[in-house]
Amino acid sequence: MTIGVHAPILAIAVPLLGAFALPVFAKVHRSLRDLWAIAVGAFTCAMVITVAVQTFTSGIQVYTLGAAAPTDTIASGGFPIRIMLVVDGMSAFMGLISALVGLASLVYAFHFLKEEQGKTLAMTLFFLLWAGMLGMEYTGDMFNFFVFLEVTSIAACSLVGYRTWESRPAEAAFKTMALYTVGGLLVLLAIGILYGEYGALNIAYLSSKITGSQLDKIALGLLLGGLLMKVGAVPAHMWAPDAYGEAPAQAAIMLVANTQASLYGLWRVLFTLFGGALSAPAVGWLVTSLGVLTLLVAVLMAVVQTDLGRLIAYGAVSQIGYMLLGVGVGLTVLPSRPDWGLVAMKGGIFHMVNDAATIGLLFLAAGVVKRAVGTRDLRALGGLGHDLKWTSGFFFLGALALAGIPPLNGFASKFLIYESSFRLSPILTAIAVLGSILLLAVFARAFQGAFLGPRLREAKPASPSMLVAMGVLAAVILAMGLVPGFFVEHMVTPAAEALWRGRDLYLAAVLGG
Partner 1 sequence: MIGNFPFVVCMILIALGLWTLLTRRNLIKLTIGISLIESGVNLFLVTLGYVRGGVAPIYTYAPPGAKMVLPTPQALTLTSIVIGLATTALMLAFAVVIYRHRGTLDARKIRELRG
Segment interacting with partner 1 (CB under 8 A) among 45-53, 171-179, 384-392, 489-497: 171-179
Q: How far apart are CA 502 and CA 500, in angstroms?
A: 6
Quick check: helix, strand or coil at residue 407? coil
Quick check: helix, strand or coil at residue 247? coil
Exposed, middle or buried by CB within 10 Å (0-12, 13-18, 19+), for 209? middle
Q: Which of 30, 168, 337, 460 binds partner 1 (CB under 8 A)?
A: 168
Nearer to partner 1, 317 or 334 (CB): 317
Q: Which of 13, 17, 32, 170 binds partner 1 (CB under 8 A)?
A: 170
Interactions with partner 1, residue window 226-245 (CB under 8 A)? 241-242, 245
Nearer to partner 1, 72 or 166 (CB): 166
Nearer to partner 1, 243 or 372 (CB): 243
Q: Vertex 87, ends 94 and 321: CA angle to 5°?
A: 30
Q: How far apart are CA 184 and CA 56, in angstroms?
A: 31
Contact 115, 96 (CB under 8 A): no
100 makes contact with partner 1 (CB under 8 A): no
172 makes contact with partner 1 (CB under 8 A): yes
Q: How far apart are CA 311 and CA 324, in angstroms?
A: 21
215 makes contact with partner 1 (CB under 8 A): no
Give the shortest CB-300-to-partner 1 separation in angstroms: 11
Q: How far apart are CA 184 and CA 451, in angstroms?
A: 41
DSSP-assigned letter for residue 404: T
390 makes contact with partner 1 (CB under 8 A): no
Nearer to partner 1, 297 or 397 (CB): 297
Q: Which of 17, 83, 121, 147 binds partner 1 (CB under 8 A)?
A: 147
Quick check: helix, strand or coil at residue 199? coil
- List the beta bridge partners of residue 323: none
Interactions with partner 1, residue window 283-342 (CB under 8 A)? 301, 304-305
- Taking residues 127 to 146 in sequence order and writing x for each that binds partner 1 by CB under 8 A, - otherwise, the string is ----------------x---
- List the beta bridge partners of residue 498: none
Residue 213 phi/psi, 5° resolution? -70, 175
DSSP assignment of 63-118: EETTSSSTT--PBTTTB--S-EEEE-HHHHHHHHHHHHHHHHHHHHHHHHS-GGGT
Comparing C-alpha atoms, which of 21, 18, 28 is closest to residue 106?
A: 18
Give the shortest CB-421-to-partner 1 separation in angstroms: 30
Total residues found in the chain within this entry: 513
Q: Which of 173, 329, 369, 491 binds partner 1 (CB under 8 A)?
A: 173
Q: How far apart are CA 504 and CA 498, in angstroms?
A: 9
Q: Which of 17, 32, 67, 189 binds partner 1 (CB under 8 A)?
A: 189
Q: How far apart are CA 51 and CA 8, in angstroms?
A: 6
Measure the N-to-C terminal CA separation of the chain; round to a whole number of Å: 25
DSSP assignment of 151-169: HHHHHHHHHHH--TTSSHH
Quick check: helix, strand or coil at residue 287? helix
Give the shortest CB-370-to-partner 1 separation in angstroms: 16
Rounded alpha-carbon distances, angstroms, from residue 305 to 245, 317, 386, 446: 11, 14, 24, 10
Give the shortest CB-174-to-partner 1 separation in angstroms: 4
Q: How far apart are CA 96 and CA 134, in angstroms?
A: 9
Nearer to partner 1, 180 or 267 (CB): 180
Residues of the chain by 3-state class (helix, strand, coil), percent to 5: 80, 5, 20
Contact 451, 380 (CB under 8 A): no
Q: Which of 38, 178, 437, 456 binds partner 1 (CB under 8 A)?
A: 178
Q: Which of 199, 335, 407, 464 binds partner 1 (CB under 8 A)?
A: 199
196 makes contact with partner 1 (CB under 8 A): yes
Give the shortest CB-224-to-partner 1 separation in angstroms: 17
Segment interacting with partner 1 (CB under 8 A) among 175-183, 268-276, 345-353, 441-449: 175-183
How many residues bind to partner 1 according to rule CB under 8 A? 38
Exposed, middle or buried by CB within 10 Å (0-12, 13-18, 19+), for 485? exposed
Give the shortest CB-189-to-partner 1 separation in angstroms: 5
Nearer to partner 1, 157 or 253 (CB): 157
Q: Which of 4, 59, 118, 192 binds partner 1 (CB under 8 A)?
A: 192
Segment interacting with partner 1 (CB under 8 A) among 170-178, 380-388, 411-419, 465-473: 170-178
Segment interacting with partner 1 (CB under 8 A) among 5-13, 174-182, 404-412, 466-474: 174-182
- List the beta bridge partners of residue 430: none
Nearer to partner 1, 52 or 173 (CB): 173
- Taking residues 148 to 167 in sequence order and writing x for each that binds partner 1 by CB under 8 A, - otherwise, the string is --x--xx--xx--x--x-xx
Nearer to partner 1, 195 or 340 (CB): 195
Residues that bind partner 1 (CB under 8 A): 143, 147, 150, 153-154, 157-158, 161, 164, 166-168, 170-175, 177-178, 181-182, 184-185, 188-189, 192, 195-196, 199, 201, 241-242, 245-246, 301, 304-305
